[in-house]
Amino acid sequence: RHFCETQTEWGQPLVNSLFTLGLLIGISVNDTTVGTTIANLGMSDVKFPHPLFQGDSVHCTTEVITKRESRSRPDAGIVEFEHKAFNQHDVLVAVCRRQAFMKKRKGGA
């Protein structure tokens, strides 16, 4: 830890940004789409506006941005989510949009 305190811009150990992204997606999937995702199609607009530090707590939000019927599968659709991760001070540390191929609810969109 001494190296980070004296020789880095932030003065403390950072969490790797790609780990932060994986944590964000992992938490959100467990909370919102577990068992319904057929495939992840991609991510866009990935940003890390503030660093996440070793020892920080993380909480996440997910919003459905768009959804549409699948042209090839009547039991599925394409959904775009916006995922956000915040630290224990409610500071935004990561945000991304994720496009996914999702199972539809029985009898619904």
Give me the half-sphere count of Cα atoms (radius 13 Å) on the Cβ side of residue 59: 4
Q: What is the pLDDT of residues 66-97, one digit of tens each?
A: 999 999 999 999 999 999 999 999 999 999 99
Contact, 77 vs 68, CB < 8 A?
A: yes
HEC states along 9-31? Answer: CCCCCECCHHHHHHHHHHHHHHH
Q: Which residues of the chain have pLDDT under 70?
A: 1-2, 107-109
- Counting every residue written for the chain, the total comes to 109
Confidence at residue 1, expressed as pLDDT on a 0 to 100 scale: 59
CB atoms within 10 A of CB 21: 18
Confidence at residue 4, expressed as pLDDT on a 0 to 100 scale: 78
Distance CA 37, CA 25 (A): 12
CATH architecture of 2-103: Roll (3.10)
Give me the half-sphere count of Cα atoms (radius 13 Å) on the Cβ side of residue 8: 12
Confidence at residue 67, expressed as pLDDT on a 0 to 100 scale: 96
In Å, the largest CA–CA distance within the chain is 60
Confidence at residue 107, expressed as pLDDT on a 0 to 100 scale: 67
Contact, 98 vs 42, CB < 8 A?
A: yes
Domain ranges in the chain? 2-103
